[in-house]
């Protein structure tokens, strides 16, 4: 027994010396897919085929290769009429009927919110921080309660999307390291969620998988203001956020520093550099060691899952695996028919809706 214990101590010391925290790999329990565009695709007649070539419901196909959690973004009042409350309520029934869990991703905007833009919804445009706290609380509570009332209570929610420097700009933007206003908004969202359903897990999501320094700056900042959250969410795209080794270190650091589970709320990888429509691709290059092929896409996604698991994370979500190029399902909600799909080379279905047979979600 002493020899075994001594060996374990030496292994732990070696791991720490190498800069890798020593802990056992966890199981990925949140095996997720953000399929926020799929309602529109299906309404436009898109077809999805499994690896055997059989046409099936896309959720059934994804569930068959390991998915157990669906993420849906929600915009307040998008011009497109998709990804709004009514559509999320509608598709939540489909998600839950298939035995899948539900993550609702609140953007608190009428359009995309990400590190470079956090536009207020038009209805809140003139509101200051006091009113915005009420807005966030009431809107979050209303959506959550409406989902609960129809028997599709969300299992988790995000209070904001990739809020690296705040949300609901400019009132909720972090300026001069002052997290006061952002903390008030996050507390409103957290409290509304728990008032709706105490068991719903609150995720606070940034795209800070690129560095410990960025992640610490943000999460230290909100923690110092007394913000509560249940799960730390990070986006990781290798072409923007660095190596898998770096990802391992960031996950390990935030996991131990804040004592909360960690999920990769977004990741994806291209299977080609080619473009299926007239809209330029958002990503045109890959990362070292992984080709721009179906095999490369499958291998890179597997590597992200392995890294997350080994670093102690509990989940990985692939972003928009079903969004292949379907005319009329453009990226801009204000011009959904007149814009194309910049993600058609990142989906796990090709341009005719056939599944990449190399992609799997694994616990």
Active site residue 162: yes
158: β partners: 105, 203
Active site residue 300: no
Alpha helices in the chain (DSSP H): 2-17, 38-43, 58-64, 85-97, 129-149, 180-196, 212-224, 238-241, 244-258, 294-310
| DSSP collapsed to 3 states, 330-357 | CCCHHHCCCCCCCCCCCCCECCCCEECC
| Residue of 266, 279, 300, 320 marked active site | 266
Would you tell me how many other CB atoms lie within 10 Å of the CB of residue 202? 22
| Residue of 162, 279, 300, 320 marked active site | 162
Distance CA 344, CA 323 (A): 6
Q: How many residues in total does the chain contain?
A: 363
Helix 129-149 vs helix 180-196: crossing angle, to nearest 10: 20
Residue 207 sits at φ, ψ, to 5 deg, of -100, 45
Concatenated DSSP letters of 258-316: H-S-EEEEEE---S-S--SSSSPPS----BTTB-SSHHHHHHHHHHHHHHHHHTT--EE
- Give the closest residue to 164 by CA, choosing from 103, 211, 127, 121: 211
Distance CA 84, CA 91 (A): 11
- Give the closest residue to 42 by CA, choosing from 355, 353, 360: 353
The two structure tokens encoding residue 251: 């996950």
Cα–Cα distances in angstroms (integers) from residue 76 to residues 24, 124, 340, in the given order: 41, 10, 22
- Give the closest residue to 91 by CA, choosing from 68, 110, 107, 74: 74
Residues acting as catalytic residues = 162, 266
């Amino acid at each position: 027994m002493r020899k075994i214990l001594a060996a374990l101590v030496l292994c732990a010391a070696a791991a720490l010396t190498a800069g890798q925290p020593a802990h056992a790999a966890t199981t990925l329990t949140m095996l997720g897919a953000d399929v926020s565009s799929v309602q529109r695709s299906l309404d436009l007649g898109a077809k999805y085929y499994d690896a055997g070539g059989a046409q099936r419901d896309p959720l059934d196909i994804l569930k068959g290769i390991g998915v157990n959690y669906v993420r849906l973004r929600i915009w307040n009042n998008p011009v497109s009429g998709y990804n709004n409350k009514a559509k999320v309520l509608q598709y939540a029934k489909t998600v839950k009927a298939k035995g899948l869990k539900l993550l609702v991703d609140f953007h608190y905007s009428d359009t995309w919110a990400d590190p470079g833009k956090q536009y207020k919804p038009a209805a809140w445009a003139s509101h200051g921080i006091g009113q915005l706290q009420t807005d966030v609380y009431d809107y979050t509570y209303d959506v959550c309660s409406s989902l609960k009332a129809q028997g599709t209570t969300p299992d988790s929610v995000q209070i904001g999307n990739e809020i690296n420097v705040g949300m609901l700009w400019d009132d909720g933007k972090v300026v001069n390291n002052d997290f006061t206003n952002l903390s008030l908004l996050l507390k409103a969202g957290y409290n509304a969620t728990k008032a709706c359903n105490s068991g719903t897990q609150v995720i606070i999501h940034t795209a800070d998988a690129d560095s410990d320094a960025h992640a610490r700056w943000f999460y230290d900042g909100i923690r110092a203001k007394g913000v509560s959250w249940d799960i730390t969410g990070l986006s990781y795209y290798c072409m923007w956020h660095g190596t898998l080794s770096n990802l391992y270190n960031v996950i390990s650091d935030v996991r131990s520093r804040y004592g909360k589970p960690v999920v990769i709320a977004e990741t994806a990888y291209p299977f080609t550099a080619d473009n299926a429509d007239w809209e330029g691709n958002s990503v045109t290059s890959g990362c070292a060691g992984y080709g721009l092929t179906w095999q490369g896409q499958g291998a890179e996604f597997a590597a992200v899952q392995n890294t997350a698991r080994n670093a102690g994370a509990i989940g990985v979500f692939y972003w928009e695996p079903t969004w292949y190029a379907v005319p009329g399902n453009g990226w801009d909600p204000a011009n959904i028919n007149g814009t194309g799909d910049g993600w058609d080379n990142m989906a796990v279905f090709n341009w005719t809706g056939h599944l990449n047979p190399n992609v799997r979600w694994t616990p």
